[in-house]
Amino acid sequence: MTDAAAARPIATHRDDAKAEVAGGRQRPGRGILVVRGVVLAVCLLWLVPTIGLLVSSFRDEEVVASSGWWTVFASPLDFSQWSLQNYNDVLGDEGMGAAFLNSIVVAVPATVIPIMVAAFAAYAFTFMRFRGRETLFILVVALLVVPLQVAFVPLLQIFSNFDLVGTFPAVWLAHAGFGMPLAIYILRNYMASLPKSIIESAEVDGASHFRTFWSLIIPMSVPALAAFAIFQFLWVWNDLLVALIFLQGTPVVTSQLRLLIGELGQEWHLLTAGAFISMTIPVIVFFALQRFFVRGLTAGSVKG
């Protein structure tokens, strides 16, 4: 049998497979369609409160108090029922604009500082050999079980000695300290999954630890860095307790939201606009880094 004759049956089977795909025979099964339908329904139900909050934020106080938010869909093109007054009041008279800027000033350094320090520590725990390395790593990870509330009084005393209470460095250091154990744990597990041959090649070429860390490890650890950055930024941005204790009067988004509703809860229409203003930055951060999220969290969890 010639080579052409032997290759003819293989080509025929490939053509048949392509014809089946082109003819639409390989379609999703009924079970897959049911699962997709259920997931879509759950997502829509989950979005209903958010949609109601968004609609209410564009309605006047009197209309919000007299009718439900779903009534706007009876005549959605009636622009007389839409208003930006809530956002004008929140950003101007209620001081949410200044609180928004303060939250950015708090969240960005409080995210960058623990990432930088934890990356160096994770590299040392993974690739450097020194006495007590494993014991020290266990002690650092054990700090994850310590409630952050037990550290408030000692930190206040330390910061008071250095006149840091009520300043941004106080809340930066507090958030960095509270987030450091988780950052080291995530980054160390990820770095342990990186190919050892690359590190060995760098050592053979005479690269220093800092050169290896900065030129090789950091670029390869971007997924883990992004995953922790999402965790840390969202936690700092949504924090109220640490800001109240260590900033002591400087408004941030969460503390200002607490004041928007009023003493008797009569101004909750402003709370809807303030909530969406506070959501913008976390949503941007999450969607900008979400492609690294799952990869960064699962790396190192399975060996082999």
CATH number for the domain including 210? Answer: 1.10.3720.10
What is the rounded average pLDDT for all residues in the chain?
A: 81
Are 105 and 170 in contact, with CB atoms under 8 Å apart?
no
| 201 and 281 share one domain | yes
Domain for residue 19, yes or no?
yes
Instruction: Count Cβ atoms within 10 A of the Cβ of residue 5 and give its class: 0-12 exposed, 13-18 middle, 19 or more buried.
Output: exposed
Helices 222-237 and 96-127, axial angle in degrees (round to 10): 140
| 225 and 170 share one domain | yes
Residues contacting 260, CB < 8 A, separation 6+: 90, 94, 96, 267, 270, 271, 274
Over residues 111-117, mean pLDDT = 93
| 32 and 180 share one domain | no
| 238 and 118 share one domain | yes
Distance of CA 278 to the CA centre of its chain: 14
User: Which structural domain, as residue segments, surrounds residue 41?
Assistant: 3-82
Rg of the chain, C-alpha, whole Å: 27
| 103 and 240 share one domain | yes
So what's the pLDDT on residue 300?
47
Over residues 74-100, mean pLDDT = 78
Q: Which of 88-92, 103-107, 193-197, 229-233 has the lowest mean pLDDT?
A: 88-92
Number of domains in the chain: 2
User: Is pLDDT above 90 for 175?
Assistant: yes
Nearest alpha carbon to residue 71 among 48, 52, 54, 49: 52
User: Is pLDDT above 50 for 291?
Assistant: yes
| 22 and 122 share one domain | no
pLDDT band at 233 (very low <50, low <70, confident <90, very high): very high
Over residues 235-257, mean pLDDT = 88
Domain for residue 118, yes or no?
yes
Domain for residue 71, yes or no?
yes
Over residues 50-76, mean pLDDT = 80
Domain for residue 215, yes or no?
yes
- pLDDT tens by residue, 176-205: 999 999 999 989 988 888 888 888 888 888
So what's the pLDDT on residue 20?
46
Domain for residue 219, yes or no?
yes
Among residues 57, 82, 107, the one where a domain terminates is 82
- Which residue in this structure is represented by tokens 């999450």? 286
| 171 and 244 share one domain | yes
So what's the pLDDT on residue 42?
92
Domain for residue 304, yes or no?
no
| 0.85 exceeded by pTM | no
| 49 and 68 share one domain | yes
Are 293 and 231 in contact, with CB atoms under 8 Å apart?
no
| 42 and 128 share one domain | no
So what's the pLDDT on residue 302?
46
Domain for residue 303, yes or no?
no
| 7 and 96 share one domain | no
Domain for residue 38, yes or no?
yes
Among residues 53, 82, 111, the one where a domain terminates is 82
- pLDDT tens by residue, 206-229: 888 888 888 888 888 888 898 888
| 104 and 72 share one domain | no
| 113 and 219 share one domain | yes
Among residues 44, 61, 82, the one where a domain terminates is 82
